[in-house]
Amino acid sequence: MKFSRILKNYSGKYGKYLLLCPLAMIGEVAMETTIPMMTANLINEAIPYSRNTGDLSHVLLYGGLMVLMAIASMGFGMLGSYLSSKGAYGFGRNLRQALFERVQTFSFKNIDRFSTASLVTRLTTDVNQIQGTVMMVVRMAVRSPIMLIMALVMALRLQPALVTILAVAIPVLAFAIGLIMKLAFPRFQIMMKKYDALNASVQENLIAIRVVKAFVRARHEKEKFEASADDVTATQRAAEKIVLWNGPIMTILMNASIVAVLYLGGQRIVGGTMLEGDLSAFITYITQILMALMMLSFLFLGFVLSRASIARLSEVLEEQPEIVSPDQPISTVADGSIVFDHVNFSYQGDPNNLVLTDINLRIRSGETVGVIGGTGSAKTTLVSLIPRLYDITSGSLQVGGQDVRKYDIHALRDQVAMVLQKNVLFSGTIKENLRWGDEHATDEEIFAACQAAAADDFIRSFPEGYDTDLGQGGVNVSGGQKQRLCIARALLKKPKIMILDDATSAVDTATDARIRQALRTQMADTTKIIIAQRITSVMDADHILVLDEGKVADYGTHEELMQRSEIYREVYTSQQKGVA
């Protein structure tokens, strides 16, 4: 996406501020370029006049005009500040909102493609970068060229011949700036990469500080960090070394131009074709012209720097959500029955690289199905297909007698509650978190769900009970407590299908049993799918699915499987060994 497109698409109602700002800037420039002319008149005409006549009226006139212009210029400048801030921050808000809303439409597959950290950077740093560029653009993109033109016109009116100096100065400056940028830009990119690596290593150390300490590797980490810090410093120096030339080159060009003006202008004054006061006015115009050029180069640099940000944002904005509701969606799920019919699945959609192969299952509404299988046997993948977190590659998958792709996604997911393996709670109180399941839930319903999830006791043991603040990411509760809260949250949805993906791994066996007991009695009509490592968590299920490398190895009751499934028996004995 281009800068102009992004600006057009997301300025929305703040567009008028962005459009008005250049007008204010033009007003400011008009004043700024007229003031030197006034100064010249004051010096050339008014002051000699009052010296000769003792009459101050001309001085007062020009002085008064200048003060008025300064005040007007100040007004325009302040207005420009307001308009550009209002416009740019409004634009930033819209852009951020659009990005966030786009992320909300992402399916799991879309999320897999971007890492969490990169999405966060895009929503924060990149948006700020573009917002800053927009602010600079509306202030400078019109202001600088106008300044250039007006100063040029004024200079031409004063002394057309002297303007030839610019014919030398401008190309030299443009060439120098261009060269500096061309050399500096790739170096800055390298520096940014090193800088990212440095920050990543700090972050890693923060996350894994216990490992570092447990293995007494502080010195090792320090050495790694030092190498990384030296890298940043070296690349930073390489880049800044180039940019350093900017200032001195500008100084030399500016002053050389001034000297040239003094020489050529001096000759003219001697010849009587120019007045002394014009000299300083002319110098001011030359300065303004070169400064405007410099500003344009900064603007250009800003564009170039924001290009990377825009590219990153475009990736998100143009990412098509993989999974959307169909045109005429079914909005109610009849019951909790599930049918897998020759289902194949691959994350890449590649039939040669299947994660799940030829899955055939018929689960009746209200049944409890356990899922057992080794690490990497695609248990989580299998259940993720039911609420359509991923779309199957081939075959058919039905929930409540209808193909999952025919449902309105929200309607389907409202009826399929899933407690994820990697689950999260959000900042806010326990109650607020539980209401995610049902925002209109009464306190009684919440208590009941927590009792079923064996969470009520520990919640009440907190001084503030259900109003305990969880902190960001639910840091204030232990792993097992978090899992139970997550189960309670899912229970509140009163779904037709409930999926527990290793949701009690950090809960002790007795509590685990209590939770399952509650599920069985209180959610008799709900289809329950339980993925577990512990065989005890599934052995009382109506059916147990044994998955092996993405295929159904067996399906049956505990007794049946004990008789015929070798894998199942192996798992069982590995867990029951030593029991008398």
Looking at residues 33 to 52 of the shown chain, list those that interact with other proteins (rule: CB under 8 A): 35, 39, 42-43, 46-48, 50-51
Pairing of β 368-373 and β 543-548: parallel
Crossing angle for the helix pair 15-41 and 276-317, to the nearest 10 degrees? 170
Is residue 389 a contact point for other proteins (CB under 8 A)? Answer: yes
Give the residue, chosen from 37, 129, 277, 346, that forms a contact with other proteins under the rule CB under 8 A.
277
In the block, which residue shows the tokens 């308009």? 83
Among 5, 493, 43, CA closest to 275 = 43
Crossing angle for the helix pair 479-491 and 509-522, to the nearest 10 degrees? 0
Give the residue, chosen from 540, 542, 554, 560, that forms a contact with other proteins under the rule CB under 8 A.
540
User: Residue 370: CA atoms inside 13 Å, Cβ hemisphere, count?
Assistant: 24
Helix, coil or strand: residue 527: strand
In the complex with other proteins, the residue whose CB is nearer, 341 or 476, is: 476
* Intra-chain end-to-end CA distance of the chain, in Å: 69
Other residues' Cβ atoms within 10 Å of the Cβ of residue 488: 27
In the complex with other proteins, the residue whose CB is nearer, 92 or 448, is: 92
Is residue 418 a contact point for other proteins (CB under 8 A)? Answer: yes
Is residue 154 a contact point for other proteins (CB under 8 A)? Answer: no
Give the residue, chosen from 272, 318, 440, 442, that forms a contact with other proteins under the rule CB under 8 A.
272
Per the structure block, which two tokens stand in for 13? 């109602």
Size of interface with other proteins, in residues (CB under 8 A): 169
In the complex with other proteins, the residue whose CB is nearer, 152 or 379, is: 379
Is residue 560 a contact point for other proteins (CB under 8 A)? Answer: no
Q: Which helix (H) or strand (E) holds 60?
A: helix 57-105
Is residue 413 a contact point for other proteins (CB under 8 A)? Answer: yes
Shortest distance, CB of residue 517 to other proteins, whole angstroms?
Answer: 8
Bridge partners, residue 373, by sequence = 547
Bridge partners, residue 345, by sequence = 356
- CA distance linking residue 571 with residue 162, whole number of Å: 93
Is residue 314 a contact point for other proteins (CB under 8 A)? Answer: no
Give the per-residue contact string, 65-94, with other proteins (x = CB under 8 A; - = no): -xx-xxx-xx-xxx-xxx-xxx-xxx-xx-
Is residue 544 a contact point for other proteins (CB under 8 A)? Answer: no
Touching other proteins, residues 198-227 (CB under 8 A): 198-218, 220-222, 225-226
Scanning 180-188, 289-297, 348-356, 407-415 for contacts with other proteins by CB under 8 A, the matching segment is 407-415
Cβ 141 vs Cβ 22: under 8 Å: yes
- CA distance linking residue 130 with residue 123, whole number of Å: 11
In the block, which residue shows the tokens 């002297």? 162
In the complex with other proteins, the residue whose CB is nearer, 204 or 342, is: 204
Is residue 536 a contact point for other proteins (CB under 8 A)? Answer: yes
Shortest distance, CB of residue 108 to other proteins, whole angstroms?
Answer: 6
Is residue 423 a contact point for other proteins (CB under 8 A)? Answer: yes
Give the residue, chosen from 237, 342, 362, 564, that forms a contact with other proteins under the rule CB under 8 A.
237
Is residue 167 a contact point for other proteins (CB under 8 A)? Answer: no
Q: Which helix (H) or strand (E) holds 340?
A: strand 338-345
Other residues' Cβ atoms within 10 Å of the Cβ of residue 394: 13
Bridge partners, residue 500, by sequence = 419, 530
In the complex with other proteins, the residue whose CB is nearer, 342 or 475, is: 475
Give the residue, chosen from 174, 252, 304, 334, that forms a contact with other proteins under the rule CB under 8 A.
252
Shortest distance, CB of residue 248 to other proteins, whole angstroms?
Answer: 4
Cβ 544 vs Cβ 558: under 8 Å: yes
Is residue 456 a contact point for other proteins (CB under 8 A)? Answer: no
